[in-house]
Amino acid sequence: MKKLVSLIVLCSCAVLYSACGNTVSNTSLKQTETVQQKQTTKSAEETSAADKSISEATNTKLKIYINGTELTATLADSTAAKELAEKLKAEPVTVKLNEYGGFEKVGKLPWSLTQTDESTVTEAGDIMLYQGNQITIFYNSNSWSYTKLGSIDKITGEELAKLFGEGNITVTLSY
């Protein structure tokens, strides 16, 4: 008789335990599904924001007028480049660029931009921020610490040097 009672108690406990287990599993499953839905929504929102940011970055073109010729430049993904774009959206700026070292033209901007200088080797067409308030356009290579603003599209160093000519020049930047 004791064995029979023990068996009945054991079976009852097993049934009760499995019933509780299903409730926990169902609750746990619902919580997991809710978390997964939130993560999927968050992931989709992040992807959308990243796509928008990439789209804006790839469509960010600067116009540079040199001796009557219009060039375009792709702005870099830097705080200074974004600040420059915002300034130029308000109004174009004309800058006198001075010849320096046989590889660049450099001139003072009317405002300062955020510096995040990195040691770099420049290429022809690179547009850099120097000392926070000077813009430098390279027609040849140089090594120094700059904040990248962008690069002139589809032009060689020789073409740029010819366009710049000898000595100092004036350029207009617009967005």
- Angstrom distance (rounded) from CA 154 to CA 152: 7
Say whether both 49 and 107 belong to one domain: no
Task: Give the model's pLDDT for residue 41.
Answer: 47
Structural domain for 78, as ranges: 61-174
**Smallest Cα–Cα separation from 100: which of 159, 2, 146, 166?**
166
Q: Do strands 69-75 and 61-66 pair parallel, antiparallel, or not at all (unpaired)?
A: antiparallel
Asked whether the beta carbons of 160 and 86 are under 8 A apart, the reply is: no
Average pLDDT by stretches of 10, the chain with 175 residues: 54 52 49 52 48 48 95 97 96 98 97 97 98 98 97 96 95 97
Last residue of a domain, one of 13, 39, 59: 59
Give yes or no for a contact between 168 and 96, defined as CB atoms under 8 angstroms apart.
Answer: yes
User: How many domains does the chain fold into?
Assistant: 2
Q: Which of 17, 39, 59 is the last residue of a domain?
A: 59
137 and 110 share a domain? yes
> What is the model's pLDDT at position 71?
98
- DSSP for 70-115? EEEEEEPSSHHHHHHHHHHHH--EEEEEEEETTTEEEEE-SS----
User: Are residues 18 and 74 located together in one domain of the fold?
Assistant: no
How confident is the model at residue 14, as a pLDDT? Answer: 52
